[in-house]
Structure 1
Amino acid sequence: MSLDWDSVAAFALTLPGAELSTSYSQPAVKVNGRAFVNTGHEPGSFCLQIDMDTVLLLKETEPATYWQSPHYEGWPAVLVRYDTDDPERVRAMIERAHAWQAGRPRPRGRKKA
């Protein structure tokens, strides 16, 4: 089964406190003021913001679905290919990313120059 941004965002928006927003001028779903999914910089994939331990685990165990371009290396974010063999696991990882961001402090506002 293949996912797309609309189905990813629709699922993410069912989670408590989730809201449609933008992150770096891209469509995103946020909780507690923090993006947990956004469209990303790579065609055919979306970006999942999640803890580094999970990023490393996903890349190691399912590299056909979870990967990083050089843009994301070293950051708590992993790209997820829409064309996945396991959309249920992708949804579980979206829930995990939501819980991780919901538990973090709300970001402080940026200072105006």
Structure 2
Amino acid sequence: MSGLGDWAAVETFAAARPGASAGTYYGGPAVMAAASDRPVVTPSREPDSFVLHIDADQKSMLMDLDPALFWETPHYQGYPALLVRYGPADGIAEWIDRALELAAAKPRRRKK
């Protein structure tokens, strides 16, 4: 598997996962769980990272496990999302799949 070195690579990888689809979230590009219309990954304003939408328990665990890869800014504190630095797919791909499973299991998001 090649690396996930930029948003285009992350988006292509995540959108190709079963149950995922390209979409928008707050007006920007996103990969969504098709079953719930909830975000899985979105781009970040941070130039070297993307946003992984994941539950709070796993967020804390990931930041403790590898703080160089998984991190947050004050903007994401208290929210079920964290920043992930672009890099080798083997450290990131499994967590994109896990975020997709979690998002798909939630109730369908209401359209605004």
Length-normalised TM-score, structure 1: 0.88
**Displacement of 1:40 after TM fit?**
1.9
What residue identity is the alignment partner of 2:74? Answer: P
Question: Considering only aligned residues, what root-mean-square deviation do their CA atoms show, in Å?
Answer: 1.4
User: 2:5 corresponds to which residue?
Assistant: 3
Structure 1: tracts of 5 or more residues without a match: none
User: 2:92 corresponds to which residue?
Assistant: 90
Larger Rg: 1
Using the alignment, how far apart are the partners of 1:106 and 1:2 within structure 2?
A: 28
Length-normalised TM-score, structure 2: 0.89
Q: Which of the pair is proportionally richer in helix?
A: 2
**Displacement of 1:24 after TM fit?**
1.5
Is 1:27 aligned with 2:29?
A: yes
The percentage of aligned residue pairs carrying the same residue is: 41
Residues 51 and 81 in structure 2, CA contact (< 8 A), matched pair in contact too: yes
Residues 21 and 32 in structure 2, CA contact (< 8 A), matched pair in contact too: yes
Change (3 A) 1:107 1:2: closer
User: 1:37 corresponds to which residue?
Assistant: 41
Q: Displaced runs of 4+ in structure 1, greater than 2 A?
A: none
What residue identity is the alignment partner of 2:101? Answer: A
Corresponding pairs, count: 108
**Displacement of 1:89 after TM fit?**
2.1
